[in-house]
Amino acid sequence: MCGIIGYTGDDERAVLDVLLDGLSGLEYRGYDSAGLAISNASLSVYKREGELSNLEAVLPEGLDGFAGVGHTRWSTHGPPSDENAHPHTDCQGRVAVVHNGIVENYAPLRAELEARGHTFESETDTEVVPHLIEEHLADGADPERAFRRTVERLEGSYAVAAVFSGRETVYATRQASPLVLGVGDDGHYLASDAPAFIEYTDRVIYLEDGQFATITPSDVTVTDERGQPADVTVRRLEWEPEDAGKSGYDHYMVKEIHEQPTAIRRCLGGRARELDGSVTIDELTDLETPSSVQFVACGTSYHASLYGARLLRERGISAQSFLASEYDADALPIDEETLVVGVTQSGETADTLSALRSANRAGATTLAVTNVVASSAARACDHTTYIRAGPEIGVAATKTFASQQVALAMVASVLAGEFPRSFVEGLRDVPDDVQSILDTSRARSIAEQYEDADAYFFIGRGYNRPVALEGALKMKEITYKHAEGFAAGELKHGPLALVTPQTPVFAVIGADDASEKTLSNVTEVESRGAPVVAVTDSPERVERHADATLEVPDTHPCLTPILANVQLQLVAYHVANRLGRSIDKPRNLAKSVTVE
């Protein structure tokens, strides 16, 4: 959600540039205000509600310093405003703090501090942190000790970074909220996510819960809660700075839609073997076939998990999907033969992490399916499968959803034994099939035809139901228009009352046993005057029922949803673009939701 960037280096003139570049690199996470603090002879703090350009407009010429932190805020405590934007400072302006997460005990801490004469300028939970540091400094503690003693008082989830006036050091720690350190040649960095500093260094250290980081121009020190040196690994990121650019596209989202063939090839690489019709995931070679599987996920990842669960059920393995925020391990049958799979693009989704931790406590085996190496989910689970989609900047997930579908298809193959050879052959063809859709799609003309609709409905059966749900979510996220996804058979059990000639229905219809029933549901909406757009691999079967068709290549029936999804992504994108929406940064939304 919120974004943190920190830097200290040899060239004090570079501090502002690094912070602004970092804040720009974090805009994709979603935010409503931005700010920064730079340590020089005193402490220079600037922050503004709204976009980063509002902050840049008030920065003075020649601003430099020894070290600094920056922040993009997504509001939780208090509405967007200059006062509520980070960083926050103490009464004397000696320390500036940025924070992601929630300080759950901020109310009693604030009351305690106000009773001792502290004055608060904001409504945020974060502001208690610099005031607590101020008190410890007044008691004689040095900055590092004051920072540690303050963190001991905090309850909840947090990633916190602080700078002090006149010092070239940045202090940071985390608890259930991500922080990554960047190890550079001319300075060192910290951030919520590596895109904030990837143009400066590809060497990173992922901070663990309870660890403290101290970064200076010459060194990075990581210690545990007792102040003892922590065992850390410096990793190299596998993507380049240009991977996070738009590469000539108008929006990150459409760029990432067009990157799906490449992302899926990476996901498949070395795993799906067409020659012998097998699927192998090296990370899962020692994972025994479970008696049951429980998926936990949120949003788009939940839709991918619905797809994975159905694949397993059809191969004889009991499988269910749960919204992570509703998951209750204590109320479910769980033992050591139960596999709980957390599906999360970022690996930092708070609800999913909470569900995985409860599954671990209940004795289940856990598996993370994620895109981020060494993320919290990857470290929390017994096993990890990476989807290898590469960096995704647009808030609305596209290539990560397609890669999740492919990854879960392979996971299902490993857990259930060999799928039909035609399935593996179809998997290997998915990148080319997606490319053919991108080359020939009529989604733009469909968007032009229906951009003024009152609402949009998406229907599908079986494997196509999760894609109908995802199609509706994409339309909602980036167009701000009402959209709903349904199991096709449920239309007649209530939603049909909403169907009018101004509510186009997108029907995902594959060449499977359920297609005739879906066509029957299509006739129900036709008779109410609603236009029908069929997303199908069998246009000749549906043309007399549909006002328009979006074709997908013929493939194994279990894989049709992966292809149909691409057409629905393009429709949502073109509608949003014609409506002039903020496609990459939809209002009120964040890329990585790190609070429950």
Last residue of a domain, one of 221, 243, 265: 243
pTM, two decimals, is 0.79
pLDDT at position 298: 96
Last residue of a domain, one of 243, 268, 289: 243
Q: What percent of the chain has a predicted confidence (pLDDT) above 70?
A: 96
Phi, psi of 554 (to 5 degrees): -70, 135
pLDDT at 239 over 70: no
* Co-location of 494 and 564 in the same domain: yes
* Co-location of 89 and 234 in the same domain: yes
Residues noted as catalytic: 2, 591
pLDDT at 311 over 90: yes
* Co-location of 167 and 36 in the same domain: yes
pLDDT at position 433: 97
In the sheet that holds 532-536, the strands lie side by side as 482-487, 455-460, 505-509, 532-536, 548-551
DSSP 74-94: --SSS-S-TTTSSPEE-TTS-
Partnered with residue 156 across adjacent β-strands are 103
* Co-location of 61 and 166 in the same domain: yes
Peptide linkage before 217 cis (omega within 30 of 0) = no
* Co-location of 253 and 238 in the same domain: no
Q: Is the model more confident about 151 or about 330?
A: 151
* Co-location of 236 and 249 in the same domain: no
pLDDT at position 240: 62
pLDDT at position 241: 59
Read off the pLDDT band of 316 (50, 70, 90): very high
Query: The domain spanning residue 132 has which CATH number?
Result: 3.60.20.10
Task: Give per-residue pLDDT as tens, 450-478.
Answer: 999 999 999 999 999 999 999 999 999 99
Task: Give per-residue pLDDT as tens, 370-407.
Answer: 998 888 899 899 999 999 998 888 889 999 999 999 99
Query: The domain spanning residue 323 has which CATH number?
Result: 3.40.50.10490
Task: Give per-residue pLDDT as tens, 490-528.
Answer: 888 888 888 889 999 999 998 665 667 888 788 888 878
* Co-location of 487 and 559 in the same domain: yes
Please give the mean pLDDT across all residues of the chain.
92
Which pair of structure tokens corresponds to residue 394? Answer: 């647009």
How many domains would you assign to the chain? Answer: 3
Which whole number is the average pLDDT over 72-80?
84
Which whole number is the average pLDDT over 404-417?
94
Q: Is the model more confident about 12 or about 129?
A: 129
pLDDT at position 247: 76
For 484, the domain range is: 441-596
pLDDT at 594 over 60: no
Read off the pLDDT band of 161 (50, 70, 90): very high
pLDDT at position 563: 97
Give Dmax over CA atoms of the chain in angstroms.
81
* Co-location of 448 and 562 in the same domain: yes
Last residue of a domain, one of 411, 432, 453: 432
Place of tokens 């509608």: 575
pLDDT at position 220: 96
pLDDT at 134 over 70: yes
pLDDT at 564 over 80: yes
* Co-location of 387 and 496 in the same domain: no
pLDDT at position 288: 87
pLDDT at position 1: 56
* Co-location of 281 and 269 in the same domain: yes
DSSP 259-328: THHHHHHHHHTTTEETTTTEE--GGGTTPPPPSEEEEEE-HHHHHHHHHHHHHHHTTT-EEEEEEGGG--
User: If phi over 0 gives left and psi between -120 and 50 gives alpha, with beta otherwise, what is residue 461?
Assistant: beta
* Co-location of 382 and 531 in the same domain: no
Read off the pLDDT band of 590 (50, 70, 90): low
Task: Give per-residue pLDDT as tens, 165-219.
Answer: 999 999 999 998 889 999 999 899 999 988 889 889 999 999 999 999 999 999 9
* Co-location of 256 and 176 in the same domain: no
pLDDT at 70 over 90: yes
